[in-house]
Amino acid sequence: MQSAYPLVSVIIPHYNGEEILRDCLQSLKKCTYPNFEIIVVDNGSTDESTLLVETEFPSVKLHKSTKNLGYSGGCNFGFRNSKGKYVVFLNNDTTQENDWLERLVEFAEKNPKVAALHPKLLYIKDKTLFDYSGAAGGELDFLGFPFARGRVFFTVEKDEKQYDEPRQIFWASGTACFLRREVLNEVGLLDEDFFMHMEEIDLCWRINSADYEVWSVPSAVVYHYSGASLGAESWFKVYLNYRNNILMLLKNYSGISLLKYLPIRIILDFVALVQAILKLEFWRAKGISKAYFWLLTKFRFALKKRKFAQRDRKKADSELPFYRKSIVWQYFVKGKKTFR
């Protein structure tokens, strides 16, 4: 007999930061959903994080890695050691409303074609604002620029319940990404070569292409402290974002779409590089330059990854839920600051 409360595996990749981990685990203890396991994957922390879990949260399943596997590697490691019908890849710098899992499981159980769910993400320091890392649901324009309902580039909206209806989206944020195990077994896990940033969008692209759906469920609420892993002015963060974004396009777009859109995207990235230099933002220029150097030297490697990503495609690019306009044009030229 099928359980009314299927097991959910909450997987938290972690590297240093005892206090944020403590806050996250204390919040999860208050969760009212009756059937879930918590798995912390420690990516070689050098502080007392593992001792914290062992002494204060003995029911949490702790898996230790001797090196930093990154977000994607940590999540995949936890997935392979989990048992849930559903899994949640959860950032360590989050807290959650008590009923968040109930809301997500209820929606997933009623909608078997849905493979990934996104809760409403609010900023932990000001809970009237959407969180930068996904807000009320991730969107992707046809040039590969990600944004969110409630956060477009540098503009973050107040939560005025304007996005409170569940709806289909393109991607669910890795901040708190709820996933159906059987679909992950079909389309594959997070790409570990991404290390961190964009890996959840790449995964959701494969989910969409395989004829499953990604939805936002705003009744489930998670609070997040954006930027706790890498600072806003980190050249490495810029590097990962630019590198992983282009790699994602190379992997997932059809050949025709790549020929149409990739040259435009490269031109826009070059413009961003010039702007960074003119503004003396050399950390940003360094990140963009290193991203394209990696892509040029690893192009054959990217093509091999493309074969894997294309294997389960059941939908054409025209059938996927892209934002069909250029969000760069809408935001920077037309002044459209919200998704509404």
* pLDDT at residue 69, as a whole number: 92
Fold held by 9-224: Spore Coat Polysaccharide Biosynthesis Protein SpsA; Chain A (3.90.550)
* pLDDT at residue 340, as a whole number: 74
Per-residue CA distances from 248 to 157, 200, 265, 272 (Å): 27, 10, 12, 19
Q: Are 43 and 65 in contact (CB under 8 A)?
A: yes
Q: Which long-range contacts (CB under 8 A, 24 or more apart) does 257-265 make?
A: 257/317, 261/142, 261/143, 261/144, 264/143, 265/143, 265/144
Domain with CATH 3.90.550.60 in the chain: 9-224
List the pLDDT tens digit at each of the 340 positions of the chain: 357 899 999 999 999 999 999 999 999 999 999 999 999 999 999 999 999 999 999 999 999 998 899 899 999 999 999 999 999 999 999 999 999 999 999 999 999 999 999 999 999 999 999 999 999 999 999 999 999 999 999 999 999 999 999 999 999 999 999 999 999 999 999 999 998 889 999 999 999 999 999 999 999 999 999 754 555 678 999 999 999 999 999 999 999 999 999 999 999 999 999 999 999 999 999 999 999 999 999 989 988 999 989 988 999 999 999 999 999 999 999 999 887 7
* pLDDT at residue 66, as a whole number: 86
DSSP 234-268: -HHHHHHHHHHHHHHHHHHS-HHHHHHHHHHHHHH
* pLDDT at residue 24, as a whole number: 98
